[in-house]
Homo-oligomer: A and B are copies of this chain.
Amino acid sequence: MKDAKNETITDSEWEVMRAIWTMGKTTSRELIDAMNQLQGWSDSTTKTLLHRLINKGAVVQSGTSRPFVFKPIVGEKESMAAAATDLFDHMCAMRAGSTIAGVIKTRELSQADIAELQAILTEKAKTAPEQVQCNCLPGHHMCEEVEEHGQ
């Protein structure tokens, strides 16, 4: 999973980021307690992850005396976008549409979200192709059975 800077953020680091993003800024104590609540992690685990995130440039430590304050450097929205891009880049382009459909079906979306998506789609429809090519194998530009593939 990538963050806004295309650094790799691991799953557990991602959990820490979520908390930091939501808190906006935090002390290690607050964060440790939150992670203990959310994941049952020991103090050390959170500390380690926090440090790894600092090294990766995803979080900064600020303040001159203890306890220090930690803040996210990479943005949540951007990181989420990067992670999503990363995922779809590893999937067959031809099936992106139905995958997105599945996501939309299962997520809760607000009226505003839906309106935004509709607007984007309407715009996109103007230039959308009839077919999207499979980009899995060179030469082989078409996956077998698009609908009921698989078995």
A→B interface (CB under 8 Å):
1, 11, 14-15, 18-19, 21-24, 34, 37-38, 72, 74-78, 80-81, 83-85, 87-88, 90-93, 95-118, 120-122, 124-125, 128-132, 134, 136-138, 140, 143-144, 149-151
Contact = CB atoms under 8 A, between A and B. Distances in A.
A84 B85 contact: no
Q: Is the interface of A mostly helix, strand, loop or mixed?
A: helix
Nearest to A138: B37
A51 B118 CA distance: 44
Contact of A149 (B77, B100, B106, B149): B77
B118 A76 contact: no
A19 B137 contact: yes
A98 B77 contact: yes
A118 B121 contact: yes
A88 to B, nearest CB: 6
A1 B61 CA distance: 31
A84 B87 contact: yes
A22 B140 contact: yes
Given A1-B87, A110-B128, A111-B128, 16 more contacts: A21-B136, A76-B92, A77-B95, A80-B95, A84-B99, A84-B100, A84-B102, A85-B106, A93-B107, A97-B109, A97-B113, A101-B120, A110-B129, A113-B128, A118-B122, A121-B121
